[in-house]
Amino acid sequence: MDIKTIGGPFILAPLAGYTDKAFREIARLWGADAAVTEMVSAEGLARNGEKTKALLERFPGEDNLIVQIFGPSDDPVRRAMENLLSYNPTAIDINCGCPVPKVVKTGAGSALMKNPEMIGKIIKAIKEFTAIPVSVKFRLGWDSESINFMEFASVAAEAGAEMLTLHARTRAQGYSGQADRNAFRILSEGFNGSGILLFGSGDVFTPEDAISLIDECHLDGVMFARGAIGNPFIFKETKMMKAEGCYSIPNLKDRMETAMKHLDLMVKYYGEDKGCREMRKHLMAYIKGIPGSSRVKNEIATLTSSEKIKEILMTLVQADFL
């Protein structure tokens, strides 16, 4: 599969509770080539659940939308396909990496790392319905005693996956410790010349991190996850780094204007009260490390007025000019 099929090499990763249409819109404005939805329950989609379907709503004009689904087996995936295809995804990604207990205990997410044969069945079930590219996001293994990412990737590839994204940690690690960069090299060596797109995820917090994965580990692209929260600028910065060897960082005013644009979108899509509440976690990331941010965090922690939040954010900018 050609990288152009999904839009390009720099993608906003799926993040539960974060990658809604507002965040995806901001990321695309700042240069993300594509974005992935929050993980969508195959069972919920099969049952036509309203909350599940809400995760699939696009922002106006959104293209290159990859839908990520999760489920313990091919059965709910097969039952969900008619509803899923009605949303016309650019690609369908299968979550085999979520470490959260409530997902794992059902046999979904990273629990699938213990059952490589099942990922093959899930991919084949999808292929019965569509020629849309199938992607798999997976981990090194269940724990340090069961590293099986190459076996897992091979089963997925044989079943017809066109894209593989490795989060180079085990399920036991969660998001702690460091991603194993050597695992990315092993993956690329094992699938060299296969035509399968290879992406990396984990510890990608700077443009340098992203470019080194592509250049040194020979990957086709990168999924930005935590590194993009409060920092959608990383997409444009990385593209500048790739093209010019350097990049410029947005000033504080640009950062706050983007945060306020993000807030406006949240209010537009979810209403004043919910939009402000859901935006808090993003705002904490936008202002992290800025002088005076501790005061601002406390002030906006309970606000449900977007105008008041904007006023407080602007005090950071005004203080910067003093």
**Tokens describing residue 61:** 């004009």
3-state SS of 215-236? HHCCCCEEEECHHHCCCCCHHH
| Cα-based torsion angle of the residue sequence 191, 195, 200, 205 in order, rounded to the nearest 10 degrees | 140
**Tokens describing residue 295:** 């005061």
Residue among 98, 217, 246, 276 flagged as catalytic? 98
Beta-carbon count within 10 A of 25 CB: 23
AA letter at 241: M
Q: Residues in the chain, how many?
A: 322
Cα(36)–Cα(56) distance, integer angstroms? 10
Backbone angles phi and psi of 191, in degrees to 5: -115, 20
Q: Give the 3-state secondary structure of residue 96.
A: strand
Look up 98 and say whether it is catalytic: yes
What is the enclosing helix (H) or strand (E) of 57? Answer: none
How crowded is the C-beta side of 257, counted as CA atoms within 13 Å?
A: 8
Q: Which of 208, 180, 224 is nearest to 28 (CA)?
A: 224
Catalytic site positions: 98
